[in-house]
Amino acid sequence: MKNNIDIRQYLIDIIDKEVDYGKSVYGEFNTPHEFYGVLLEEIQEFMEASSLVMTAEKKIFTFIRNDMNIKLSIEKLENETYQTIEELIQILAICKKWKIRSKKNV
């Protein structure tokens, strides 16, 4: 279980950096509507990236079934998976950024 805790803390550190970056470039959220618009955009980007992961996985299966080289397909899967993870980190950062803003306005 310790390994999962280490990974979560590593992710929290990455999310904190993303929050800081977002604040420096875009500032704070002004309204819940603005927060929701940004959140929705990131969720849609995550869904698109997830779909590309599934497409890459299917291509690997097809290549294996046809005894074809899968090296490029694996690289594509890796790249799409990284993109998906980046989108998830952005979703978490947006949520954290809103929580921080909300605490200031209590």
Rounded to two decimals, what is the model's pTM?
A: 0.86
Q: What pLDDT score does 2 carry?
A: 61
- When divided into structural domains, the chain yields a total of 1
Structural domain harbouring 35: 2-104
Cβ atoms of 52 and 86 within 8 Å: the answer is no
Radius of gyration of the chain (CA): 18
Q: What pLDDT score does 35 carry?
A: 96
Count the neighbouring beta carbons within 10 Å of the beta carbon of residue 105. Answer: 6
| Sequence-ordered list of residues with C-beta below 8 angstroms from that of 3, at least 6 positions apart, any chain | none
Three-class DSSP category at 36: helix
Q: What pLDDT score does 81 carry?
A: 96
pLDDT along the chain (106 residues), means of 10: 78 96 92 96 97 94 92 93 97 95 72
